[in-house]
Amino acid sequence: MFEGLFQPTHLLVIFGIALLVFGPKKLPELGKGIGEGIRGFKSAIKDVEKPSAQ
């Protein structure tokens, strides 16, 4: 059903809309914030999955 959802053309359109909405100055800050959030989420998941030493 969602085959080919994220084709290069779709990604360019999404990037263009984000550029129009947030502007060229805010877009790098937004990307940095999203990246930090994803890294924090991954590290939290790893901490939960890691068995505790008792």
Q: What is the pLDDT of residues 9-40, one digit of tens each?
A: 888 898 899 889 988 888 888 889 999 999 99
Residue 50 belongs to a domain: no
Looking at this protein, which amino acid is placed at residue 8?
Answer: P
Report which secondary-structure segment, H or E, holds 19.
helix 8-49
Q: What's the confidence (pLDDT) of residue 2?
A: 57
Residue 16 belongs to a domain: yes
Residue 49 belongs to a domain: no
Q: How many domains does the chain have?
A: 1
Residue 41 belongs to a domain: no
Q: What's the confidence (pLDDT) of residue 1?
A: 44
Residue 40 belongs to a domain: no
Residue 26 belongs to a domain: yes
Q: Which residue, 36, 54, 53, is CA-closest to 44?
A: 36
Residue 14 belongs to a domain: yes
Angstrom distances, CA of residue 46 to CA of 21, 35, 39, 40, 41: 34, 17, 11, 10, 9
Structural domain containing residue 22: 9-35
Looking at this protein, which amino acid is placed at residue 54?
Answer: Q
Residue 13 belongs to a domain: yes
**Model-wide pTM > 0.75:** no
